[in-house]
Structure 1
């Protein structure tokens, strides 16, 4: 995947994507070479320097790493791209898949009762997984938008799926009760180019800040 090169719009000094403004003159950053980003709604690759919406599902694309955040999210209730809810709840939800595998042992457990502990564990994993994914979806649909800031971006070596490690993004955002910190795991390694201090839009439930998500979601 080709990474873009950015430069100051005012003095044309090339930037390394570690800053939001030109270190030489303080001017805004512009794209010199194509940026390919994956859509957070459906994972399709898009030339982000040519379009603001996914060519496959029509969903809003994330902003280019190292550039200013997008305009404020749409007014709630918000429209989510087709198929996104099922993706988050089921087939792109590792904990749901683990819980489902555990529940398969229900039928052998009926014949050999000590094995019933396995589907019981699976049931609680499924319940927790669906509750967590519903929180994320509710935040996207009806959450209040607020300013978020990236704290750190790194490869999470503690997790892996199919021999791949996700990119972990730690962030914080403003709430009526102060700042709240959270993180998200994503798979598009272009996100490693997002510098600490980069601004994001976060949508959240003011009554429960743990119910939050990045808008638009990252892949």
Structure 2
């Protein structure tokens, strides 16, 4: 029996399923038919998808959070002890290291969460359009453990203007789509450059 992995939660489902049996999210449809239309905004995302984008699939956010917590902890310990005891080196070195850790962690966390929310917002608030896949290829600009993800380029029209988008997946994209296939695209009305395939590729 063939299976398809849910792009929302990672659960395996029968290949002919339309919705995930775990989270209820719509599953990608293979071929040129884009499948059922997305519901109108605002949309309720499948259970756990936000956490998956912001934390599980974003190690930079977790590292940023750890650095920020360590930095704030060092600052809270060394700064008061240094002030009370009058040990200036403890205050300067311990407090300084705490500040550096907190700034690095805060920067990583801010950037990661902002990028994650940019991925999520089209799914929650985006207008729907029918687009077309223009290209599928191995993205050699990214490599993890000797592997390159698949990149899927697509185009769609918003307010009479043509826009392009790109989605990445570690799954074998040609199993689902080929150039010329029609797909659902969600985009923000105020900024169509923020767009996403619906459902996501995973």
1:134 to 86, 96, 117: 117
After TM superposition, give the deviation of residue 142 of structure 1 in Å.
2.0
After TM superposition, give the deviation of residue 143 of structure 1 in Å.
1.0
**Cα distance between partner residues in 2 of 1:102 and 1:165:** 29
Counterpart in 1 of 2:14? Answer: 47
After TM superposition, give the deviation of residue 158 of structure 1 in Å.
2.9
After TM superposition, give the deviation of residue 187 of structure 1 in Å.
2.1
Q: Which has the higher contact order (CA 8 A, sep 6+)?
A: 2
Per-residue Cα deviation, 1:36-77 (whole angstroms, up to 9, x for no partner): 32111111222222x21112222110001x331112111222
* Rg larger for: 2
The structure with the greater share of residues assigned to helix is: 2
The verdict on how the C-alpha distance between 1:143 and 1:68 changes in structure 2, with shifts beyond 3 A counting, is same
Counterpart in 1 of 2:61? Answer: 96
List runs of 5+ in structure 1 lacking aligned partners: 1-33
List runs of 5+ in structure 2 lacking aligned partners: 79-93
Counterpart in 2 of 1:13? Answer: none
**Cα distance between partner residues in 2 of 1:89 and 1:57:** 17
SS in 1 for 2:124: helix
Counterpart in 1 of 2:85? Answer: none
After TM superposition, give the deviation of residue 167 of structure 1 in Å.
1.9
Contact 1:57 / 1:82 at 8 angstroms: preserved in 2?
yes
After TM superposition, give the deviation of residue 192 of structure 1 in Å.
3.0
Counterpart in 2 of 1:56? Answer: 22
Counterpart in 2 of 1:18? Answer: none
Contact 1:38 / 1:188 at 8 angstroms: preserved in 2?
no
SS in 1 for 2:116: helix
Residues 99-138 of structure 1 mapped to structure 2, 5 A cutoff: 99-100=64-65, 102-103=67-68, 106=71, 111=94, 113=96, 116-117=99-100, 119-138=102-121
The verdict on how the C-alpha distance between 1:158 and 1:78 changes in structure 2, with shifts beyond 3 A counting, is same
2:47 to 82, 87, 93: 82
Counterpart in 2 of 1:28? Answer: none
Residues 1-219 of structure 1 mapped to structure 2, 5 A cutoff: 35-49=2-16, 51-64=17-30, 66-100=31-65, 102-103=67-68, 106=71, 111=94, 113=96, 116-117=99-100, 119-161=102-144, 163-176=146-159, 178-189=161-172, 191-193=173-175, 194-219=177-202
After TM superposition, give the deviation of residue 157 of structure 1 in Å.
2.9
